[in-house]
Structure 1
Amino acid sequence: MSVYEPGSTIQRFEVLHHQVWMQSPVTVVSDDGETLGVRLDPGSPFTFPPHPFGPHPWSSQSAWGATVVLQLHRASDHYAVWKFFDADGSFLHWYINFEAPIVRGPEGFETDDHGLDLIVRPDGGREWKDVADLHWQRVQGRIDQDDVGRVLAAAAEVTDLLDSNTRWWSRWDGWTP
């Protein structure tokens, strides 16, 4: 298993049907072998290799926008926890990105976004985002019914963690870029 050195640049590969669909560089913030924390910075370039499934939904974008994002990935979770900051470093919100568990490699890690997202505002309010994407990804063949079940189970797990105030990522509450 690859453990990445803090401060190093690695690649985040979005892989669909065993082929890279998108990649971008991220900077390692922390890695203990179980939880990987990486930083996505404004202007980080996106690369979209040709893919038999067609263009990636973000293929019209050449780079990440104006926010700094801390992305926290645990080895077997079907979601990552993202912490968004605006350009001046002010905390905006938490963002739960439901995705495939990461697979580590020598150049970086692989995952695949499953569309469903949950925004958690600083006041604790929640907003589900892209709920219909889960259905459309299944219809389009990006994911199968088993993946849908795993995403829904992960959504229930995250909701329980938030409801019970037992978020494993609370140790990152004070982290800033």
Structure 2
Amino acid sequence: MKKFLTVAAIGALVAVAGCSGKGENAGGTAKREAGNWKTDVKLVKFEVPGMAPEMKTQMTQMMEGASGMDQCLTQEQVDKEDVAAELAKGGGECKWSKKEVGGGKIDVAGTCMQNGQTVDMAMTGTMAAKKTDVTITTKGKVPTGGDMEMVMQMTQTHTGPCKAATTT
């Protein structure tokens, strides 16, 4: 069960890394604005049959541990971002049934396979050059039986110029 949850968590985070915080440029490809970005993560729903309460607490803390993190994106990094390429990479082997990214919106869904486990993922939300609000839903079967569902809301906000300590 721990391996399944790790796959689900990594899949969600990899997928978000590929499509979060973007705005629109003239070509319709989503782009973030260079500068400092603050990330907030909220675990909206986390249901896993048979999971020990302490393990659920650990997973909740791990997911929400990303809240308040700052990341500096240089103009060079922004120029190299490619949402379509990131979605194509996915977290493991992903097949996207829906990849609608544009017009200030994101609506992506698909199935990822990693370490022999299948996870259905969906991401919906809004994107702008200075703010993104995306909800990620991850569903799948747990090896011990039953269905797992995790819903996470990730908000990223452009907070201004890069801070010296966050430059990557």
TM-score relative to the length of structure 2: 0.32
> RCO greater where, 1 or 2, for CA within 8 Å and sep 6 or more?
2
Higher percent of residues as helix: 2
Would you tell me which structure has more strand in proportion to its own residues?
A: 2
TM-score (norm 1): 0.31
